[in-house]
């Protein structure tokens, strides 16, 4: 019985020893290649998706809606929210503190699709309504809509439309 007990202990220690030995061999055989490849893989992953805020801002600044915003309102303010890997949001806005109206241009960059989505929103504070344009019409909306000077409720305005080339513009005037 005593011999069986010693044999049982020997088998347990032999199993533990073999397990530690195999683990050590596997660790020393695989770990160097993991370390060697991890550095280059990590660098490739980081560099492939990373875009600096300056590059992201340059992409936004080349968009026609951004150019129209600063041509029309040179004192507009902007805020860039980078979401990493080349994605981000740029908000460019201006406010008339007499009427409390705001014009905000929002630009979204999606690196995966290599696209910029834009929209412009005019928020009139007196009646808390929004005038909105997105995509294709954003640049024209910024150039041709004078939303900062809208006074009173939009329902009290007369909208007259006239053609300016191929672009339809609107002038809002209070009804008398």
Q: What is the 3-state secondary structure (H, E, C) of 96-140?
A: ECCCCEEEEEEEEEECCCCEEEEEEEEEECCCCEEEEEEHHHHHH
Give one word for 165, left, alpha or beta, with left for phi > 0 and alpha for psi -120 to 50.
left
d(CA 104, CA 131): 11
Residues 147 and 110 in one domain: yes
In the predicted structure, residue 62 carries a pLDDT above the cut 50 = yes
Under a CB-based contact definition with an 8 Å cutoff, are residues 81 and 92 in contact? no
Residues 43 and 62 in one domain: no
In the predicted structure, residue 47 carries a pLDDT above the cut 70 = no
d(CA 103, CA 98): 14
Look at residue 176 in the predicted model and tell me its pLDDT: 41
The number of domains in the chain is: 2
- Exposed/middle/buried for residue 154 (C-beta within 10 Å: 0-12, 13-18, 19+): middle
Report the mean per-residue pLDDT for the chain: 80
Residue with the larger pLDDT of the pair 78 and 164: 78
Q: What pTM did the predictor assign?
A: 0.59
Residues 24 and 62 in one domain: no
Residues 30 and 72 in one domain: no
Mean pLDDT of 19-47: 76
Give one word for 86, left, alpha or beta, with left for phi > 0 and alpha for psi -120 to 50.
left
Range of the domain at 70: 53-174
Residues 69 and 9 in one domain: no
Residues 135 and 157 in one domain: yes
Residues 33 and 100 in one domain: no
Q: In a 3-state reduction of DSSP, which class is residue 21?
A: helix
Q: pLDDT per residue over 71-124, tens digit each?
A: 999 999 999 998 777 788 999 999 998 888 899 999 999 888 888 999 999 988
d(CA 82, CA 42): 21
Residues 84 and 151 in one domain: yes
What does the angle CA 96 – CA 102 – CA 107 come to, to the nearest 5 degrees?
Answer: 135
d(CA 77, CA 71): 13
Provide the pairing of β-strand 167-174 with 157-164. Answer: antiparallel
In the predicted structure, residue 15 carries a pLDDT above the cut 80 = yes
Mean pLDDT of 46-71: 84
């Amino acid at each position: 019985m005593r011999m069986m007990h010693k044999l049982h202990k020997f088998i347990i220690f032999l199993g533990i020893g073999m397990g530690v030995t195999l683990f050590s061999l596997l660790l020393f055989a695989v770990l160097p290649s993991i370390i060697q490849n991890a550095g280059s893989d990590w660098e490739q992953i980081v560099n492939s998706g990373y875009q600096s805020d300056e590059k992201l801002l340059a992409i936004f600044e080349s968009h026609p809606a951004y150019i129209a915003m600063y041509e029309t309102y040179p004192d507009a303010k902007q805020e860039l929210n980078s979401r990493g890997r080349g994605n981000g949001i740029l908000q460019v806005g201006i406010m008339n503190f007499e009427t409390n109206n705001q014009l905000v241009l929002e630009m979204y960059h999606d690196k995966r699709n290599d696209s910029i989505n834009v929209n412009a929103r005019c928020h009139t504070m007196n009646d808390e309504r929004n005038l909105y344009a997105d995509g294709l019409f954003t640049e024209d909306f910024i150039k041709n809509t004078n939303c900062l000077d809208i006074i009173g409720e939009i329902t009290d305005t007369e909208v007259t439309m006239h053609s300016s080339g191929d672009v339809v513009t609107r002038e809002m005037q209070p009804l008398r």
